[in-house]
Amino acid sequence: MRYRKLARTGVEVSTQCLGAMMFGAFGNTDHDECERIINHALDAGINFVDTADVYSQGESEQIVGRAIKGRRDDIVLATKCFTPMGDERNHRGGSRRWITRAVEDSLRRLDTDYIDLYQVHRHDWDVDLEETLGALTDLVRQGKVRYLGSSSYPADWIVEAQWAARRRNSERFVCEQPQYSIFARSIEEAVLPATLRHDVGVIPWSPLAGGWLTGKYRRDAEIPSGSRFGSEGVFARRRGGAGLDEDPSTPARYDAVEGLATVAEQAGISLTHLALAFVDSHPAVTSTIIGPKTQAQLDDVLAGADVTLDATTLDAIDKVVPPGTDIAGIEHYSGNPSLRPASRRRAG
C-alpha cells in the first residue's frame, strides 16, 4: 500500500480508501462480516475509511464505528452530511441548522469524539455557501471535526468555496470527492484542474462504475444475481424495475467494456486493476475509494493497490473513452436551477 499527503494538511492517507456504502441494508446486511472486511482492509494497510450518514440511513456509520473500536487513533475517518435523513423537510441540506444536528448524529453512530474529514455530500443550490462554511468552521473550532471536504461539487463551486473561505476567514475545503472512472471522465475538463490549482485533494468514488469495469456485465451473458444492475439491484430500482436491456446506454457500455478488456489483456492485468490504476494515475487524485461488499471483492481490489499504467496503456484507454468525456448514461447529480425553464426564458 502506498500513501500520499491529503492536500496541504500534512495527514498521510492510503492510496486506497475503504468506502462503506455497501455495508448495511444497501448492500451487505451481515454486520459481523462487514466488520471483518473493514478490519481486513486496515490490516492490509488502508488507513482511510469513508462513509456517510445516508448510507443505509445510518447503519453504515454504526458498523464502521464498531469495527474500528480500539483502532480509532490510527484511522483517518471520513463521513458526510446533506442527503435527506427522513421526511422532515429540514433534516437535509447545507444549512447551519441541519449541519449542527447531522454531525452530532454521526458522532453518536460512529461512537467517536471527532471526525477527521467531514464532507458536504452535495452542493446545496438553495443555501448561501458562506452559511455552510461558517457552520462547518464552527465544528472545526469546537474540535468535533478536523478537516472539511466537498463531494460532487462542480468546478465553479469548488473555486467559489476557496474564495468564500478567504473572504470570511473560514476553514477551507481540503478535499473534493467526485465521481471518476474510465466511464466518467468529464471532470477532467474543469473539476480536476480546479482542484490542482487550489491544492484540493481528490478522493474519487465509483472508480469501477458500479461494477461495469470489473467485467461482470457482458453482452449475451447472464447478469450476476445480487449485483447493482441486476433485476433487484439499486440501479434497477431507480429505473422503476427496468433491466439493462431496456436501458439505451447499455450497448455503448458493452462496447466500451469489450474494448477495455482488450487493453487490460495487452497490459497483462485484470480489467478491475486497469480501472483502478487509471483513476490513480491522474496527478490530482489523492486516494481512490473502493466499495467492496464481500471479502472476495476486497481481496481483488487490494491486489491492484500498487499497479501503475504506462503511457501506451493510458493512450489505449483514451481511444476507447476520450479524455474529458462520459460514457452514455453517466449522471453527475447536478440539478442546476439555472437550467430550469424559469431561469432560461424571458417571461412572456
Q: Does a structural domain hold residue 346?
A: no
pLDDT at position 333 is 75
Q: Does a structural domain hold residue 256?
A: no
Q: Does a structural domain hold residue 227?
A: no
230-234-240-244 Cα dihedral, nearest 10 degrees: -30
pLDDT at position 337 is 82
Q: Does a structural domain hold residue 31?
A: yes
For 175-213, how does the pLDDT look when each residue is reduced to its tens digit (9 = 90+)?
999 999 999 999 999 999 999 999 999 999 999 999 999
224-313-267-16 Cα dihedral, nearest 10 degrees: -60
Q: Band the pLDDT of 72: cuts 50, 70, 90.
A: very high
> CATH number, domain at 287?
3.20.20.100
pTM for the full model? 0.93
* DSSP code of residue 128: -
Q: Band the pLDDT of 232: cuts 50, 70, 90.
A: low
Rounded average pLDDT over 288-305: 97
Range 123-127, long-range pairs (CB < 8 A, 24+ positions): 123/94, 123/150, 123/152, 123/153, 123/154, 123/157, 124/82, 124/93, 124/94, 124/95, 125/335, 125/336, 125/337, 126/93, 126/337, 127/93, 127/94, 127/95
Domain of residue 56: give its range. Answer: 3-211+279-309+321-340
Q: Does a structural domain hold residue 347?
A: no
Please name the helix (run of DSSP H) or strand (run of DSSP E) that holds residue 159, with its range, or none: helix 155-168
pLDDT at position 76 is 98
Which is it for the CA torsion 203, 124, 333, 28, positive or negative? positive
pLDDT at position 230 is 61
Is 254 tagged catalytic?
no
* DSSP code of residue 340: S
Compute the radius of gyration of the chain from its Cα atoms: 20
For 113-125, how does the pLDDT look when each residue is reduced to its tens digit (9 = 90+)?
999 999 999 999 9
Query: Which of 157, 193, 202, 197 is closest to 323 using CA atoms?
Result: 193
For 1-58, how does the pLDDT look when each residue is reduced to its tens digit (9 = 90+)?
999 999 999 999 999 999 999 999 999 999 999 999 999 999 999 999 999 999 999 9
**Does the pLDDT of residue 225 top 80, yes or no?**
no
Q: Does a structural domain hold residue 262?
A: no
For 145-172, how does the pLDDT look when each residue is reduced to its tens digit (9 = 90+)?
999 999 999 999 999 999 999 999 999 9
Rounded average pLDDT over 249-269: 96
HSE-CB at 137 with a 13 A cutoff on CA atoms is 15
N- to C-terminal Cα separation, the chain = 61
* Single-letter code of the amino acid located at 125: W
Instruction: Spot the catalytic one: 3, 55, 118, 153.
Output: 55
Rounded average pLDDT over 86-93: 94
For 261-270, how does the pLDDT look when each residue is reduced to its tens digit (9 = 90+)?
999 999 999 9
Q: Which three cell numbers stand for residue 80?
A: 458526510
Total structural domains within the chain: 1
